[in-house]
Amino acid sequence: MKSSTKSQAPLLEIKDLNVGFDTPEGEVHAVNNLNFSIKAGDTLAIVGESGAGKTQTVMAALGLLAENGHASGQAIFKGNDLLQMSAAELNRHRGREIAMIFQDPMTSLNPYLRIDKQMIEVVMHHQGLNKNQAREHAVEMLRAVRIPDPERRIRQYPHEFSGGMRQRVIVAMGLLCEPDLLIADEPTTALDVTVQGQISHLMGALRDNSNTAIILISHNLGVVAGLCERVLVMYAGEAVECGSVEQVYYDPRHPYTRGLLESVPRLDRPEEQGLNSIPGNPPNLLTLPAGCKFRDRCPEASDACREKPPMQLDDQRHAWRCILGGDT
């Protein structure tokens, strides 16, 4: 099934996306000229340090930016530009065709409503199920994300759940409508490794059974490798490298990607843990440098990097934004 979809038009295509926030200090350039696309049944990971613009990229597409935020460019979903839609038009896609699993499990559930109410409102609203069917469906989903005793737990309030349990509830809520596109923002950070595995497995099953496209935002390169085919590496609101998991993990072309891979703690080299995080900090998003945004931290920087480096593309759909890294 997966291979038959390869030639289709993309499900979501992000074109020249810019996201800015007006603040008293000036405009925060959170996402800059971002392009990527994803087809039905594809799994794309977005990785990058904190503040790289991963979350705001998808928030912009869903029309969920904060009030001081604005987006330009295009986010074409099934042929229509999400960025041009009114809230009412977006509501025909949100929840039903595009589901979002939010990053912060502690605050993303409504503390004043029982879990059942929050879960079943999605399916009742979009699939027209009645209360009992919706509820049964929700209980099954909670069971699938390994919440013990789901019939009882679903009657409880969010504060009766631990952080990890809330995260599973949020994941279950996202999977409930069997969306065409599932956006999962750090869906497993608060979970232990076994449950992480189970949840990636669930998402993988959803993709395989319903041909769901998945955008996975994660710091965890291990989870990414387990679930995704393609990886987009973001730095200071830009795409710096994009390719298949094999290309990016085993043949990284951008120095930032290499730094990111080296900063992964490794069991086989425990003495180096934490030592390998990339030195320095990402640039100030208020005043982005003109040339390569990674220049201040790049071990291979040279004078040529004062000009904005072009996106290089090899014939295997592996792309990177650096003056180096070409095969010649």
Ligand X SMILES: Nc1ncnc2c1ncn2[C@@H]1O[C@H](COP(=O)(O)OP(=O)(O)OP(=O)(O)O)[C@@H](O)[C@H]1O
Can residue 118 be called a binding residue for Mg ion (CB under 5 A)?
A: no
Can residue 160 be called a binding residue for other proteins (CB under 8 A)?
A: yes
Give the H or E element holding residue 14. strand 12-23
Instruction: Tell me which of 55, 74, 167, 220 binds Mg ion, using CB under 5 A.
Output: 55
Can residue 121 be called a binding residue for other proteins (CB under 8 A)?
A: yes
55 binds, among ligand SF4, other proteins, Mg ion, none (CB under 5 to 8 A by kind): Mg ion
Give min distance, CB of 293 to ligand SF4, in A: 8
283 binds, among ligand SF4, Mg ion, ligand X, none (CB under 5 to 8 A by kind): none
Instruction: Tell me which of 162, 300, 316, 317 binds ligand SF4, using CB under 6 A.
Output: 300
Q: Which is nearer to other proteins, 58 or 298 (CB)?
A: 58
DSSP string, 247-294: HHHHS--SHHHHHHHHTS--TT-GGGTTTTSPSS-PPPTTS--SS-TT
Q: Binding segment for ligand SF4 among 12-20, 117-125, 148-156, 293-301 (CB under 6 A)?
A: 293-301
Can residue 181 be called a binding residue for ligand SF4 (CB under 6 A)?
A: no
From 166, 71, 78, select the one nearest 174 (Cα to Cα): 166
Which amino acid belongs to residue 89?
Answer: E
Can residue 301 be called a binding residue for ligand SF4 (CB under 6 A)?
A: yes
- CB-based burial label for 125 (10 Å; 0-12, 13-18, 19+): middle
209 phi, psi to nearest 5 deg: -85, -40
From 78, 63, 95, select the one nearest 11 (Cα to Cα): 78
Q: Are 292 and 298 in contact (CB under 8 A)?
A: yes
Q: How far apart are CA 6 and CA 2, in angstroms?
A: 7
Give min distance, CB of 265 to Mg ion, in A: 21
Can residue 184 be called a binding residue for other proteins (CB under 8 A)?
A: no
* Residues of the shown chain interacting with ligand SF4 in the complex, contacts defined by CB under 6 A: 254-255, 292, 294-295, 298, 300-301, 305, 309, 322-324
